[in-house]
Amino acid sequence: MTTVVDSRLLNDVLRDILSPFDLPPVEDVATRRQLARALLSGRDNGFEGLALAYAVVAFSASTEDGVAEVLAAVRDNADVLVLDGTRGGYLLLPCAQDQHAGLARELHDRVGGEVWMAVAWAPRRDLASARATAADVLRIANGRAPGVYELRHVLADFAVLRQPHVSERLARMIEPVVAQQPLLDALRAFISEDGNRAAAARRLDIHRSTLDHRLRLVERLTGHRPASPRALLTLSVALTAHSCPEVPLPH
């Protein structure tokens, strides 16, 4: 039933009931949702009134209120299409190339609370792959501070999640660190504080020399020295490879 509505039937229905250059009215949430779903699945039937290219924003929030806030922020914009779920969803914002990050940041600034956004840009024909990218970026970003993320911010993690033989190897490498909570906490804090030892020690409420000692143990167990940016990236990606829960996004 849904699939029929998704494709031809929806197209015909829309042609019939709408003036040719308009999207369904904002009140018609269900039809607009179907339209968003069709576009994000790569089924573009050439609806009139659509933009040539979109910023795909995959978002998630720690609470349902957070989701409601995001939806409220775009409610009055008739050009934005929404596919929402209980803990997150997708927004399609008409967008010129290279404007998507700014657009998403602007939106993020308007909502309070813990909200993560992953943004990718694509011409209308490539929205399915932009959606897949945004979903994976969001999944990785959920392990970091709330904010707006592009592929480049989680590039290494993204590539490794797409290459299972690499991610298995990294997960094995980091396993002995994960098995010891104090070491795991020390590494996580060091990563979150962008390699700032003093800040990481403060965050954990431990002495700086204790932190140094734990980081040395991490190096001994993994062969990667946290103070080196490349090695820290490897360790951070290994943590992602070890555990990166799926984000509940609508299908």
Partner 1 sequence: MLFDVGRLLHEEFLPVYRAAADTDGWEDMAVSVAHRAGSRLASAKISIAHMVMALRSTDRLLTEAMLDDGGDARALAAAGTALAAELMSAFCAGDDGLADAVLAGSAPDGAAAFYTVVSVRGALPIRVVSAFRDRGPVLLATSGHLLLPAAEAAALSLCLDVQKEFGGEVWFSVAERPVARMALARREADEIDALVASLGRPPGVYRIDDVLLESAVMETPEARDELGKVLAPLLANPVLVETVLALLEADGNRAVAAKKLFIHRSTIDYRSWQIEQLTGLSPVNPRDLAVLGTAIGMGGER
Q: Which residues would be at the binding site for partner 1 (CB under 8 A)?
A: 101, 129, 133, 150-153, 155-156, 158-160, 162-163, 166-167, 169-170, 173, 191, 194-195, 223, 227-230, 232-234, 236-237
Least distance (Å) from partner 1 to the CB of residue 64? 31
Tell me which residue has tokens 């504080």.
193
Nearer to partner 1, 57 or 232 (CB): 232
Which residues sit opposite 121 in a β-bridge? 55
Of residues 26 and 233, the one with the C-beta less far from partner 1: 233
Supply the minimum distance, in Å, between the C-beta of residue 62 and partner 1. 23
Least distance to partner 1, CB of residue 133, Å: 6
Map tokens 């403060």 to a residue.
202
Q: How far is the CB of 224 from partner 1 (least distance, A)?
A: 8
- 71 or 233: whose CB is closer to partner 1? 233
Closest to partner 1 by CB, 86 vs 228, is 228
Whole-angstrom Cα distance, residue 118 to residue 116? 7
Between 48 and 175, name the residue whose CB sits nearer to partner 1. Answer: 175
DSSP 94-146: E--TT-HHHHHHHHHHH--SSEEEEEEEEEGGGHHHHHHHHHHHHHHHTTS-S
What Å distances lie between residue 197 and 189, 200, 218, 245, CA to CA? 9, 5, 14, 28
| Residue number, 14 or 239, with CB nearest to partner 1 | 239
Q: How far is the CB of 126 from partner 1 (least distance, A)?
A: 11
In the complex, minimum distance from the CB of residue 228 to partner 1, in angstroms, rounded to a whole number: 5
Contact indicator for 160, 237 with CB cutoff of 8 Å: yes
- Cβ-contact 129, 73 below 8 angstroms: no
Residue with Cβ nearer partner 1 (58 or 80): 58
Contacts 24+ apart (CB under 8 A), 226-234: 226/187, 226/190, 226/195, 227/195, 229/195, 232/190, 232/191, 232/195, 233/156, 234/156, 234/170
Give me the least distance between CB of 156 and partner 1, in Å please: 5
Name the 3-class secondary structure at 84. Answer: strand
User: For residues 182 and 205, is the Cβ–Cβ distance under 8 A?
Assistant: no
